[in-house]
Structure 1
């Protein structure tokens, strides 16, 4: 589970060696716009620590993604998250701006959905998307997630998509 690959991506369990790439990703205001805002290097380090601990606790989590030529592509994964006081498993992804609009997010989402529902036998997965993020909403819809409801999370209007095993 530490690694997976798709047609155009390789994924490895998030670790300390990914910090510089994550910092650059989280400092890009366009990327950060829908994932909680720009994060400092210190905040990203804390984020990395929390997500490495998630792996240790649950046996799954976030992966660093690279294109087949080895370039950092982004991060994606499955993680526990509290939503309206319910422990859910979220599918999450963020890609470098240079890869937007080329189908990488859908490719990763399809792979992570298969891992979550088939390999981990999770009952369902959710995607939480800023209501204005049409591209991310289309990714989940292409991956057969169904719109479940709208809610407010951290002061932002979001929609929750779900897919069940």
Structure 2
């Protein structure tokens, strides 16, 4: 699934041509506040390579997001991640500040959840949120994620939200 669309966004599989947009996004201190801090262009280049390799290995990963008029809006994805020595599959997203507070995160979280659970038939998905990031917590809660546990990640208190694939009713 190299491309998909939501009501207001189009998503494209990450590739080298997206580096400049990602660098600009990761250099914004407010955007990066809950993402581990500002990333240098070199670190973002490594991030790009790592996420492209994830696609090659797993068949899904990070997409860049554009508005319907073609403006770069942010990034979102589904990835394997190790949390407390447990293999998990996470949805994640980040938007340019000009797109905050307009429902884009909720729109893409719902799409990532549907893609992960329905299209890729993953058993469950998590969202990792800094305890203080109320906006992202509300986004996951609106997408019917439930608090799974709290933990420390990279020296920060985080909450792990989870949504499992709905069980099918038994055949009659």
Classify the secondary structure of the residue corresponding to 1:46. Answer: helix
C-alpha separation in 1, matches of 2:3 and 2:155: 35
C-alpha separation in 2, matches of 1:56 and 1:65: 20
Unmatched 5+ stretches in structure 2: 166-172
Q: Size of the alignment, in residue pairs?
A: 165
Residue 144 of structure 1 corresponds to 144
C-alpha separation in 2, matches of 1:81 and 1:163: 16
TM-score, normalisation: structure 2? 0.95
Classify the secondary structure of the residue corresponding to 1:132. Answer: coil
Residue 122 of structure 1 corresponds to 122
Superposition pairs of residues 1-165 of structure 1, within 5 angstroms: 1-165=1-165
TM-score, normalisation: structure 1? 0.99
C-alpha separation in 1, matches of 2:46 and 2:28: 18
Root mean square deviation, CA, Å: 0.3
Classify the secondary structure of the residue corresponding to 2:21. Answer: helix
Unmatched 5+ stretches in structure 1: none
CA drift of 1:147 comes to: 0.8
CA drift of 1:148 comes to: 1.0
C-alpha separation in 2, matches of 1:36 and 1:2: 27
Structure with bigger gyration radius: 2
Runs of 4+ in 1 over 6 A off after TM superposition: none
C-alpha separation in 1, matches of 2:79 and 2:148: 19
CA drift of 1:137 comes to: 0.3
Deviations 1:96-153 (A, max 9, x none): 0000000000000101100000010000000000000000000000000001111000
